[in-house]
């Protein structure tokens, strides 16, 4: 059974793709994006398989 590690990442609206691309390059998979504390910010939830 796969074990996962998770992270929450603040996303700035003007740099969303760059931020997600950087995390994706490190093996993180986007699970969900939800509104952040203000209109200029979103919060991304990401996961990746836990290394042994």
**Structure confidence by residue, pLDDT tens digits, 1-52:** 999 999 999 998 889 999 999 999 999 999 999 998 887 789 999 999 998 6
| Cα separation values, 26 from 11, 38, 41, Å | 17, 27, 22
- Phi then psi dihedrals of residue 34, to 5 deg: -125, 160
The pTM for the full model equals 0.86
* 3-state secondary structure (DSSP) of residue 50: coil
């Amino acid at each position: 059974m796969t074990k996962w590690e998770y992270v929450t990442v603040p996303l700035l609206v003007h740099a969303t793709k760059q931020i997600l691309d950087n995390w994706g390059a490190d093996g993180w998979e986007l699970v969900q994006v939800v509104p952040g504390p203000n209109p200029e910010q979103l919060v991304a939830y990401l996961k990746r398989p836990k290394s042994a």
